[in-house]
Amino acid sequence: MSQYEVSTLKKGLQILDLLIENDGLTFVEVMHHFNWNKTTTFRLLYTLENMHYIVKKGSHYYIAEKIDGAKQEHDPQVDWVSVPPLHDLSQELGETVYIGILDGTDVVTTQIVNGTHTMRIHSHIGEHDPAHGSALGKAILAFLDSDMKQRFLRQLQLKKNTENTFDDEQLFLYHLKAIQDQGFAVDDEETELGLRCIAAPIYRNGEVIASVGLSAPTSRMPKQQDKTFSKKVVTCSKKITQLLEA
């Protein structure tokens, strides 16, 4: 070993390299690969996990979002092109509409057209919400290619914002499949009680790059109206997709 190398740092970086090359490894697999003792392996893994460079799911360790996050690039063109369809939808229904993209395990709002109701949802550009509870986030996740979807799901911590938020991974996977089948996602008071949202994916060249969503209080958007509202949101998403691909 070179006199300038820091042995502990080198071992930590070796673990990161190993996890990048493998889709999740157990404590024992890491220990045996490097032929380290239990104490050394535990301390290194604990430190990397505590610093959010790796995450542990079940018995396996994975590279964390900090290094390998499923982040979508923000394209300002999407925000500008979407304004006319967003404005039309907001004027028709009186509700606030949004554009969102994935930022790690969150969805971030990149465009907003406020509704016309006196009592309306107030949000701001740059606002983050956990993607697994947000209709904007789920509308992107459900339609990602399998590799990108798996990158995201490895980082996902199913924390509950409300009693309605998904906290079971298998049920969430079934939920994403249902979203694929119906073509839109619903946030049924999963981000905030009293608030519902419906969202649909936006595409460019066959790849989902963002989502458009409509949010409203439950009193103005009850479950019984999901079919009506979802048709309008899906129509809006298709208009934006067509403008981007024109």
Q: How does pLDDT run across 106-162, given as a tens digit for each residue?
A: 899 999 999 987 766 667 888 989 999 999 999 999 999 888 888 788 777 788 999
Q: Report the first-to-last Cα separation within the chain, whole angstroms.
A: 58
Torsion sign (Cα): 102, 50, 161, 192: negative
pLDDT the model gives residue 124: 82
Query: What is the spatial distance between Cα 188 and Cα 7, in angstroms, rounded to a whole number?
Result: 50
Q: Which parts of the chain sit beneath pLDDT 70?
A: 1-5, 65-72, 119-122
> Which phi and psi (to 5°) does residue 110 adopt?
-115, -15
SS3 221: coil
What is the residue-averaged pLDDT of the chain?
Answer: 89
